[in-house]
Each structure stands twice: as structure tokens, then as C-alpha cells.
């Protein structure tokens, strides 16, 4: 399976931690700041509402040239022809998602330990979302922070891009990459800032060193 271009900066849109910007707004602003991928994550709302939001985001992402990845909801990803999905350990099975979506779509799997990362690798994912690296308030049910050593261990062992998440911002993004991560995924470091576009640009500069 060919390696896909998944970008170094993934922005996970959020309208719970902040209400100033919509998911569509955040997608547009984050891409303007240099985000390489947008992930739509929303736990509340009907399936119809999620599809309507994701469809609007897909229009923005296609126009601006960034992939749209849907968190958790394979059905929503299929409904809007999204570029991929990101699935947790207890979500829709990764291997089955690959069977349904085919070889060309992006599939990411969440891991908080080396063992979970190894499991993701056996199920045809394109990248592993690893974390939390640092303590985070953006996810209520987050696992304990694994630190840079977890990033080093997983990046050293896996022949897959590692997208680190959890407590990452412009001040520490470079050290996460130095530990071996391919890139980072953020929520509050972009979505909760007064200027999400400028925040994304700051993060991208930090990632580029």
C-alpha cells in the first residue's frame, strides 16, 4: 500500500471548547495557516447534522487542498466521500474499515501505548495517532500522558508515521518531532486561539524548525 501524504499538522476542529468559530470556519482558517489535514470530531448531534457539517467542511477542504478526516464515524465519512477516518481502539474495527474504504483512503488509528500502536500497525493504518504526549484538558477521557519517551519508542519501532497528540503547542512541537514523530495533531492550540490561522502558522513554523 502506497504511503499517503498526511501532512505534519493535523487540526481537530472543536465547537465545545470554544463557540466563536464553526467547524467549517476552523477548517478554512487552519488550512490558511498551513494545516496539512483537518479532522472533524463531534460527539453530539444527530447523524444527519454530522453529515451536513462534514459536507460543508469537505467543500472547504477540497477547495483549499487539504484532506478531511472524520473522527470515529465511518458512516459520516462514507456519506460525504471524506478522504479518510480516524478510529480509536474501541471504535469501528480498523481492518474492517480498510475493507470498506479501500486502499486509497487515509485511515488513522489511536494508540496510547506501544502495544496499541503495534495493534494499529497490523490493521493497515496509514498513521498512528499517539498520545496524549503531555497532559491535556481537551479530551475528558484521555489516558495518562506518555511523554516523549513513548514517542521515541513507538517511532523507533513502527515503520509508520506517528502523529503525536495531547498538550502540544508551538512551544513544544519541535521536541516532539525531535523524538521521532512525523507530525502533531492539536485542538485547543489552534481552535481556542483568537486567531486560529496565525496559531496554525506558528505551529507549522515550530514543526519546520
Q: Which residues are catalytic?
A: 41, 110, 139
Alpha carbon distance 59, 64 (integer Å): 9
Alpha carbon distance 101, 91 (integer Å): 15
List the beta bridge partners of residue 183: 163
Q: Give me the DSSP letters along 47-113.
A: HHHHHHHHHHHHHHHHHHT--EEEES-HHHHHHTT-SEEEE-TTSS-HHHHHHHH-TTSEEEEEESS
Count the helices and strands in the chain (H runs, E runs).
9, 8
Amino acid at each position: 500500500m502506497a504511503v499517503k501524504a498526511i501532512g505534519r499538522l493535523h487540526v481537530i476542529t472543536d465547537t465545545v471548547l470554544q463557540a466563536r468559530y464553526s467547524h467549517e470556519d476552523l477548517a478554512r482558517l487552519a488550512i490558511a495557516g498551513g494545516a496539512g489535514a483537518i479532522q472533524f470530531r463531534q460527539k453530539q448531534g444527530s447523524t444527519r447534522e454530522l453529515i451536513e457539517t462534514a459536507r460543508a467542511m469537505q467543500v472547504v477542504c477540497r477547495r483549499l487542498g487539504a484532506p478531511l478526516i472524520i473522527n470515529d464515524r465511518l458512516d459520516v465519512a462514507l456519506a460525504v466521500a471524506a478522504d479518510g477516518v480516524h478510529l480509536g481502539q474501541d471504535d469501528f474495527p480498523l481492518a474492517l474499515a480498510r475493507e470498506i474504504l479501500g486502499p486509497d483512503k487515509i485511515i488513522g488509528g489511536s494508540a496510547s501505548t506501544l502495544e496499541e500502536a503495534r495493534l494499529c500497525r497490523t490493521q493497515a493504518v496509514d498513521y498512528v495517532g499517539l498520545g496524549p504526549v503531555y497532559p491535556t484538558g481537551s479530551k475528558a477521557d484521555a489516558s495518562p500522558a506518555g511523554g516523549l519517551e513513548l514517542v521515541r519508542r513507538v517511532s523507533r519501532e513502527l515503520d509508520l508515521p506517528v502523529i503525536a497528540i495531547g498538550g502540544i503547542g508551538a512551544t513544544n512541537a519541535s521536541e516532539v518531532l525531535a523524538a521521532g514523530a512525523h507530525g502533531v495533531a492539536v485542538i485547543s492550540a489552534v481552535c481556542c486561539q483568537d486567531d486560529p490561522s496565525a496559531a496554525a502558522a506558528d505551529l507549522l513554523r515550530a514543526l519546520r524548525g
